[in-house]
Amino acid sequence: MVPERRLREDLIKFGRLCYERHLLVAMDGNLSALLPDGTILCTKAGCHKGFLVDDDLVVIDRKGRKLRGVGNPTSEMLMHLACYEERPDCRAVIHAHPPISIAFTIANVSMARCVLPEVVLTLGTVPTVPYATTGTTSLADKIRPYVREHDAILMDTHGAVALGSSVLEAFCRLETVEHTALITKAARDLGGAKELDPREAAHLRSMGLKRYGGPPAAVARADQPGADLPPACVGCSGCANPAPQGVAPRADLKMARVVAQPLVPSPLVEAAISHAVLRSLQS
């Protein structure tokens, strides 16, 4: 059990890191950790995560009622409570607004694809939860089936939620989601983001769940064909956003996959080429 003093230090340190790594700005986002007695330490509403101090943390019970501290708990606490309820293995939750990942959801492009081997190994796929108003029971209820099966999820037009057995692990998962989005976007800008061979993706995921663990529901499927990757990913048949059991997949999301597009120079590159040609003609 990690003592409260250490968890306070972790929330302050990783809250600041979230800001420094451009995973949130201003008063965005919120962090929480499970205390040894089962209550929850979380950031209060309206505090800047880049300048977090000890007074920005409050203690709440499992119903969201404040027990200690100054100020109100974050308005998005229902989301955190849902994570702890659905995942008894979860000890920390970070919610942030990573810009490139959010852009994927706004553009209706799914990030639930097997693109980077080490991400498939450690995180599997990253689904997008349908839109719901921030801070509501509706949003908390919508994320429940997703966090049961995933350690990191995106929420449509809003942000990301990452769970972990420690604040560090939740932060690593959040950072990985945004890094994957950056790489996938760069590949798309260069002409297309190819995907892993489905058999290799399934092999990697199975290996990762056994080696590094993951959601208990996913670990239980580690030996099954395709492990916890949705069937459409295993066959790479092009479902846009694999959904948990009992949740209808969204048909409006496009796949991240865009292949065999010609490499077209951007207007900036074209202008630079024209300028260089002009200079060579003038010299």
Binding segment for Zn ion among 110-118, 125-133, 154-162, 214-222 (CB under 5 A)? 154-162
Token pair belonging to 281: 């003609």
- In the complex, least distance from residue 133 CB atom to Zn ion, rounded to whole angstroms: 11
> Is the CB of residue 80 less than 8 Å from the CB of residue 95?
yes
Q: Within the chain, where are the H helices?
A: 4-20, 77-86, 99-106, 117-122, 137-149, 167-189, 198-212, 216-219, 231-234, 267-282
159 near Zn ion, rule: CB under 5 A: yes
Give 32 or 122: the residue with its C-beta nearer to Zn ion. 32
- In the complex, least distance from residue 179 CB atom to Zn ion, rounded to whole angstroms: 20
- In the complex, least distance from residue 79 CB atom to Zn ion, rounded to whole angstroms: 8
Residue 14 CA to residue 11 CA, distance in Å, equals: 5
- In the complex, least distance from residue 167 CB atom to Zn ion, rounded to whole angstroms: 18
Spatial neighbors of 283 by CB under 8 A, at least 6 apart, are none
Over the range 49-79, which residues count as b (16 or more CB within 10 Å of their CB) and which as e? Answer: beebeeebbbbbeeeeebeebeeebbebbbb
Based on C-alpha coordinates, what's the Rg of the chain? 21
Residue 65 CA to residue 70 CA, distance in Å, equals: 13
Q: Choosing from 20, 76, 149, 169, which is the catalytic residue?
A: 76
Binding segment for Zn ion among 38-46, 100-108, 158-166, 243-251 (CB under 5 A)? 158-166
H or E element, residue 43: strand 40-43
Give 27 or 271: the residue with its C-beta nearer to Zn ion. 27
Binding segment for Zn ion among 143-151, 156-164, 209-217, 218-226 (CB under 5 A)? 156-164
Give 134 or 165: the residue with its C-beta nearer to Zn ion. 134
98 near Zn ion, rule: CB under 5 A: no
- In the complex, least distance from residue 99 CB atom to Zn ion, rounded to whole angstroms: 13
Residue 140 CA to residue 41 CA, distance in Å, equals: 18
Give 29 or 230: the residue with its C-beta nearer to Zn ion. 29
Give 1 or 27: the residue with its C-beta nearer to Zn ion. 27
Binding segment for Zn ion among 135-143, 151-159, 224-232, 270-278 (CB under 5 A)? 151-159
Is 149 annotated in the active site? Answer: no
Q: Which residues bind Zn ion (CB under 5 A)?
A: 159
Which active-site residues does the annotation give? 76
